[in-house]
Chains A and B, each alone.
Chain A
Amino acid sequence: MSQVPNARVEAVYFSSAGGETAVSSCLSAPIAIECARTTTNDFCRSPTADTRHPKRQAENIVYAHPFSYHRAGSLLEASELLQQLGEEARLIAGGQSLIPLMKMRMVRPSALVDINFIPGLSEIRCSDGQLRFGALARHADIEESDAASSIPIVQDCAAGIADVQVRNQGTIGGSLAEADPSGDWGAVLLTLETSVRCSRPSGERTIALDDFFKDAYTTVLGHDELISEIIVKQPAKNSAGAYLAFKRSAPVYATASAAVQLTLGDSDTCKDVRIVLGCVGLTAIRAKEAEKTLREKKLEKKRIDSAVEAVRAAAEPQDDMRGSADYKRVLIAALVKRAIGIAARRARGEQVEAGHEYVGR
């Protein structure tokens, strides 16, 4: 329960199970960058701080609503702080969504519980056929890790999330807990056997990612519960995936994104497949009908076309500045089609580039 001088500010995620109002795309990269540069001393204003002090006046450069700042030393302490501080308190991890929202006063937590200083939460490691990400693993750490490079779809995703600043700060745990319908990790990890290890005062539990998201910005996490680890089962050798996210510019959320993980059997048969659609619904959408048209079938153009038709039907996009709903259906179908092609080639052992794509080039 103390103000932290010169601590590096990281970002945040919502751990609230209560229905967080859907906030439209409001991550503003330049603002996020400005925040990331700010020391806690500048923006974490305790309600009792003396605002008349001239030095403090000069340093007041972020305009969040007043909140108190708390640094947790352990998962348990974080949970306890959340319990004590009540529903208006928020966890802060990488802060790349929460801080811009706070700065624009679109969210106004009464307190922040900083988990960045909890030891051992950033590890990425392989064991027993599982890839385990600590909740605080940064996108950039994942991008660069050897462990992650063994799963191409994870690499596709991590290497292109927003911009360098966001990748250096933003965390995989934060991204899942925020449950933004346009988030990258949800769609990607749903194509794999993923589970989420969570911690709260009453103990730990592990939740399958399929059961984790409830709605836009809403997960099954309790208010005092936080993600400690994300566990991904290593796909089989003959399995590969691809993630394609189409973004208007690097720092913004994608207009549509497609994640496909495909297991090839003999003579180009699709043994298994998972197709997940991002940005075109209130949560990432598993296109199960589309999967069905491909599973246990030979990968032929006709089948892929009907899978893509099923994708079109499964998408539930909305009109916004990123595009009209009609167009997003066209785009998601095109992305899935290409992602299936890339995943299949990768499963055959080819090296193929994929990832985030931008307007104009």
Chain B
Amino acid sequence: MAKTTRVKNKRLKAAAGSGKSRATGAPKWVGQPIRRVEEDRLVRGKGIFVDDQKLTGMLHIRFVRSSYGHAKITRVDVTKAAALPGVVCTLTGAEVKGLVKPFIEIGPDVGQKIADYPMAVDKVVYQGEPVAAVVAENRMAAEDAAELVEVEYEPLPPVMTAEDALKEGSLVHPGMGTNRNWHGVFEYGDMEKAFKQADHVVHIDRLHFHRFSSTPLECNAMIAVWDSRSERIEYWSNNSFPSFAAQFLSPALGVRIDQILMKSFDIGGGFGIKITNYPYMALCALASRKAGDRPVKWTETRTEHMQASAHGNERTFLDTRVALDKNGVITAIDSRHVDDCGAYPRYEPLGCVIWAQVLPGSYRVRNIRIDMNQVVTNKCPVGPNRGYSRMQQLWFLERVLDICGHSLGIPTDEMRLRNYIRKNEMPYETPNGCVYDSGDYAGMLAMGKTLVGWDDWKRKQAAAREEGRWIGLGIGSTLDSGTNNFGQARIINAGAPFSGQSKAAIAKLDIYGEVVISMGSVPQGQGHETTAAQVVADVLGVSPGHVKVKPGFDTEQNAYTGHTGTYASQFAVTGLSAIHGAATKLRKEMSRLAAWALKAKEKDLEFGVGAQGPEVRDKRSKKSINYWALANIVNVNNAGMPEKLWDVTLNCRHVYHAPFQLPDVKKKFGNLTLTYAAQIHVAVVEVDRDTFQPKILAYACVDDCGRAINPRIVEGQVHGCTAHGIGAALMEDCAYDGDGNLLASTFSDYTPITAMNMPDLLYGHMESPSPFTFNGAKGMGEGGAAPVHTICAALQDALYSKGVIINDSHNTGDSIFLAVQRAGTGGFASSVRIEHRRAAGRSAR
């Protein structure tokens, strides 16, 4: 059924071709597993984090937060707090309302009717929402004063599930008139025909992807100074998408965007959720101004972080119908999805389209209809949590595949092989116009099975079943789509004024000949300083140690575009392309300059390292000039420099533009992402018959992110996302009770994964270079929550014969116990239904 679509996108190919380095030969440093240069300072406690910064006259802000999930605010009284010695000023929601405009809403129609102020004004809509703030000389006084703020509430009925939200009984934002802030239907192919011709139709009533977060080691932190003399707001923050935050802050605070200065340095993890800490940035700026231009620092506590920073998106999949042919090949999927974005959309409803980057997952299915909905609820607002929006879709597809496979008696590995997009179909255009650049999913699966010892485990599983043990083998196939096209926002809101993707970098030869790179990216452990130096070293024929890379965002350095930040698995593509471009421009300038200085021809010059360090040599005369001398000519010794070289500044800025076009908004069709890294994990899990605890017996991860710039960093990222995913699958759950209380507001309750919970990982790596990037690399690091899919698959395999359907992404000993109980009374009987339309028989083998 699956039809192969060859890609004829000239623009994509042209872009990759023109990016190829002419200046250099075979890479010497790119591809090497060198140690990260950042490591030394980070492991020695010499990193520079926001909380390490102490400015003269700096004040501390503490927020008074709602203990209710949904309540009317009837009174806020800061009198006693303001009177406490050491307190400089206070802020209340009513006051904040008078000082700022509500933040921009990305969503259209009803979404535009949400008034998102950084502080609750008339009512609170999630537990932990700030209702007042106190600013004091030190944190102790601020803490004491915050306790003296009196707030009275009148509780309102909270909206705690997606299904409840759709009932519209209680409204989170009455101005919207509904709880559904986005709706759209994504339909491709011929659904009717596919279901008519199906041999089997599988119905799945409800699947649920739970709410979890990333719990970075460093919580949100920022310092704001609203300086009335220079008329600018300076931020030192750990926001991970500063140019985006500035675009939200500028209209809200009523200042020009050039008045907002963003700065960052080391960041202790982010995983996406620090993108949406800008409401706090607004409050800190207001506090600074009210305190007479003094710096105001906010360092979030862990409980604040759990309750009121950002969680990952929760999604419910309803009334799914799957059409299959007699061989178990999926021909159509029809489903209704309800995403829960919590109390305020903020980065949302972008998640309502971002999943469509991986609409069919790794599979060839061409007929798909997804009725996509997003609702607001009385829970913490969501933020783009690692694997953002795609992992929910991938998990859904993996569940569909496993449930169908088990229902039809087709082994889950075979089920995948029959449905995977083939290596020879790459680049592959999906039904909605996305282009998978390269990949060999079947090859990755084979590697994963070999690593884990699949056949051997199959035998052990059969023997263990005889003994009554529950062992399951599971596969999780993921795509880590990277370098997003912001044009997809137009599918959400046709009027959204953004599209494409770009990054800027500056490469300069400083006065004494230092090679300095500024890039404006906001690394949180991804090793940007190292990989950038590897790329530049290859361009200039030096070693990475000769290249100084400045990490972090700095508005004044101007190495940014409106897309600059670290998100959406893209630095290896966009960041390094910008750096490569800037370094190539610098090399060209140095080459012109050296040709004049050495009285040589540019084509005879070679770049390398000589006795006096990095230099440019004339192959004919054997004469050379080092970097100091080159920089000296331009910067401080330029009398006599010929006019034709006056444009040489040795300070080269380059902007990389990803080769995107606008999507077709009506058809919801277009290339939404540039690269598709893949991870295929294989796990063996045993459920203890007595404790019902799942135990991982073996675990393999196979990664393909195209050409790896630094394989050591790639492997580290794979370990990190695997830990995150196992944590989400088995331990971490932002669970709320029916009254709107977060039940996991400390680490004692949330139990983020630790090394003690990790299995030994078997790691495999493949390289399918991307044809769309200059270096063949693909962005990676989000990992698509592969372990969540894999562990669910293994549990499904272990328990299918008991009648259990794994319908939630979070599984604990407790929930497995309840599921086995439920299965014992036929509780899952109606949740999955199979119609055999033709005489194809049950087994299709």
Where the two chains meet, the residues of A that have a C-beta atom closer than 8 Å to any C-beta of B are 25-31, 45, 51-52, 56-58, 60-61, 63, 65-66, 104-105, 163, 246, 248-253, 321, 323-324, 326-327, 330-331, 333-335, 337-338, 358-361
CA distance A251 to B755 in the complex (A): 11
Q: In the complex the two chains form, is A360's CB within 8 Å of B759's CB?
A: yes
Which residues of the other chain, B, contact A337 by a CB distance below 8 angstroms? Answer: 690
Nearest chain B CB to A99 CB, angstrom units: 14
Query: Would you call B751 and A331 a contact (CB within 8 A)?
Result: no
Which residues of A sit under 8 angstroms from B818, Cβ to Cβ?
A: 324, 326-327
In the complex the two chains form, is B690's CB within 8 Å of A361's CB?
no
* Contacting residues of chain B (118-142) with chain A, CB-CB under 8 angstroms: 137-141
Instruction: Say yes or no: A60-B814 contact (C-beta < 8 A), given A251-B747, A330-B691, A335-B691.
Output: no
The answer for the CA separation of A25 and B696 in the assembled complex, in Å, is 27
Selected contact of B692 from candidates A26, A29, A330, A361, CB within 8 Å: A330
Check B138–A323 contact: CB distance below 8 A: no
Give the interface centre of A26, A60, A248, A253 by most chain B CB atoms within 10 Å: A248
14 example contacts (A-B, Cβ-Cβ < 8 A) are as follows A26-B748, A27-B748, A29-B747, A104-B303, A246-B691, A321-B743, A323-B812, A323-B813, A327-B813, A331-B692, A334-B688, A359-B751, A360-B730, A361-B757
Smallest CB separation, A45 vs chain B (Å): 7
- Please count the residue pairs between chain A and chain B whose beta carbons lie under 8 angstroms apart in the complex: 121
Cα distance, A63 to B812, chains bound together (Å): 34
Residues of B within 8 A of A60 (CB): 138-140
Compute how far the CA of A338 lies from the CA of B696 in the bound complex, rounded to whole angstroms: 20
Tell me which residues across on chain A come within 8 A of B730, comparing CB atoms.
Answer: 359-360
| Closest B residue to A335 using CB positions | B691
Pick the most buried of B86, B140, B693, B694: most chain A CB atoms within 10 A of its CB. B140
Closest beta carbon of chain B to A245's beta carbon, Å: 12
Please provide the chain B residues from 287 to 319 with a CB less than 8 Å away from any CB of chain A in the complex: 301-303
| A57, B812: Cβ atoms closer than 8 Å | no
- Name the B residues within 8 Å of A252 (CB-CB): 747-748, 751
Among the listed A63, A253, A323, which residue makes an inter-chain contact with B139, where contact means beta carbons less than 8 Å apart? A63
Q: B694 to A360, Cβ gap below 8 A?
A: yes
- Residues of A contacting B: mostly: loop
Which residue of chain A has the shortest Cβ distance to B86 in the bound complex?
A: A51
- Quick one: which of B726, B746, B754, B814 contacts A250, CB cutoff 8 A? B754
**A30 / chain B contacts, CB cutoff of 8 Å:** 302, 747
Taking a contact as CB atoms under 8 Å apart, the answer to whether B813 and A360 are in contact is no
Is B762 engaged at the interface, CB distance under 8 Å to the other chain? Answer: no
B758 contacts A321, CB within 8 Å? no
B691: which of A26, A56, A61, A334 is its contact (CB, 8 Å)? A334
The verdict on B598 contacting chain A, using a C-beta distance below 8 Å, is no
Known contacts: A331-B691, A359-B731, A360-B696. The answer to whether A28 contacts B756 by CB under 8 A is no
CB-defined contacts of B757 to chain A, threshold 8 Å: 249-250, 358-361
Count of chain B residues near A, Cβ 8 A = 45
Per-residue A-contact encoding for B730-764, CB less than 8 Å = 1, 0 else: 11000100000001101111011110111100000
Q: Judging by beta carbons under 8 Å apart, are B731 and A249 in contact?
A: yes
Measured between C-beta atoms, what is the minimum distance from A274 to chain B in Å?
A: 21
- Nearest 6 pairs of A and B residues by beta carbon: A334-B690, A327-B814, A360-B757, A321-B749, A57-B138, A250-B756
Residues of A within 8 A of B746 (CB): 25-26, 28
A361-B759 contact in complex given A26-B748, A61-B139, A249-B731, C-beta closer than 8 Å: yes
Instruction: Say if the beta carbon of B817 comes within 8 Å of chain A.
Output: yes
Asked if A249 and B752 make an inter-chain contact with CB atoms under 8 angstroms apart, the answer reads yes
Known: A60-B138, A359-B693, A361-B756. 13 other contacts (CB 8 A): A28-B302, A28-B747, A29-B748, A51-B85, A65-B144, A66-B140, A248-B751, A251-B754, A252-B747, A323-B812, A327-B692, A359-B812, A360-B695
Of chain A, the residue at the smallest CB distance from B817 is A327
A residues in contact with B813, CB < 8 Å: 323, 327, 331, 359
A324 and B814 in contact, given A60-B139, A360-B695, A361-B695 (Cβ under 8 angstroms) = yes
Inter-chain contact A45/B140, CB cutoff 8 Å: yes
Complex CA gap A113/B758 in Å reads 40
**A51 near B691 (CB under 8 angstroms)?**
no
Which residue in chain B gives the minimum CB-CB distance to A103?
B301
- B window 478-508: CB within 8 A of A: none
User: Is B143's beta carbon under 8 Å from chain A?
Assistant: yes
- Cα(A323)–Cα(B301), bound, Å: 26
Q: Which residues of the other chain, A, contact B749 by a CB distance below 8 angstroms?
A: 25, 321
Kindly list chain B residues whose C-beta atoms are within 8 Å of the C-beta of A361. 695-696, 756-759
Once bound together, how far apart are the Cα atoms of A331 and B688, in whole Å?
Answer: 11
A-chain residues with CB within 8 Å of residue B751 when the two chains form the complex: 248-249, 252, 359
Question: Once bound together, how far apart are the Cα atoms of A359 and B743, in whole Å?
Answer: 19
Q: Does B54 sit at the interface, judged by CB under 8 A? A: yes
A348 to chain B, nearest CB (A): 22
Q: In whole angstroms, what is the CA distance A66 to B144 when docked?
A: 9
Query: Which A residues are in CB contact (< 8 Å) with B754?
Result: 163, 249-251
The answer to whether A360 and B140 touch (CB under 8 A), given A28-B748, A249-B731, A327-B814, is no
**Residues of chain B in range 712-728 having any CB-CB distance to chain A below 8 Å:** 726
A305 and B758 CA atoms in complex are apart in Å by 33
Q: Contacts A30-B747, A331-B813, A358-B756; is A51 near B696 (CB within 8 Å)? A: no
In the bound assembly, the distance between CA atoms of A334 and B751 in angstroms comes to: 22
Partner of B140, one of A63, A246, A327, A331: A63
Bound complex: CA A65 to CA B140 (Å) = 8
Please give, as numbers and ranges, the residues of chain B lying within 8 Å of A66 by CB-CB distance: 140, 144
A359, B727: Cα distance in complex, Å: 9
Q: How far is the CA of A251 from the CA of B748 in the complex (A)?
A: 8
Determine the residue in chain B with the shortest Cβ distance to A308. Answer: B690
Chain A residues near B137: list those with CB within 8 A.
51-52, 57
Bound Cα distance A216, B617 (Å)? 80
How far apart are the CA atoms of A25 and B144 in the complex, in Å? 24
Instruction: Return chain B residues, CB-CB under 8 Å to A250.
Output: 754, 756-757
Q: How far is the CB of A340 from chain B (nearest CB, A)?
A: 12
Among residues 99 to 158 in chain B, which have CB atoms less than 8 Å away from a CB atom of chain A?
137-141, 143-144, 147
Question: Which of these, A27, A249, A331, contacts B753 with CB under 8 Å?
Answer: A249
Report Cα–Cα, A359/B723, bound state, in Å.
13
A40 to B746, CA, bound (A): 24
Whether A338 contacts B690 in the complex (CB less than 8 A), given A45-B140, A327-B813, comes out as: yes
Return chain A residues, CB-CB under 8 Å to B812: 323, 359
A323 to chain B: which residues have CB within 8 Å? Answer: 812-814
> In whole angstroms, what is the CA distance A57 to B138 when docked?
5
Alpha-carbon separation in the docked complex, A28 to B302 (Å): 9
The smallest C-beta distance from B785 to any residue of chain A, in angstroms, reads 16
Within 8 Å CB of B140, what residues of A?
45, 51, 60, 63, 66
Within 8 Å by CB of A51, from B54, B138, B726, B748, lies B138
Chain A proximity mask over B804-829: 1 for CB below 8 Å, otherwise 0:
00000000111001100000000000
Would you give the shortest CB distance from A23 to chain B, in whole angstroms? 11
Q: Which parts of B672-692 form the interface with A (CB within 8 Å)?
A: 688, 690-692
Closest chain B residue to A43, Cβ basis: B140
Q: Which residue of B lies closest to A53 (CB)?
A: B138
CA A57 to CA B88, docked complex, whole Å: 15
What separation, in Å, do the CA atoms of A249 and B749 have in the docked complex? 10
**Cβ < 8 Å to A, chain B residues 192-250:** none
Question: Within 8 Å CB of B694, what residues of A?
Answer: 359-360
State A30–B731 Cα separation when bound (angstroms): 17
**A31 near B302: Cβ-Cβ < 8 Å:** yes
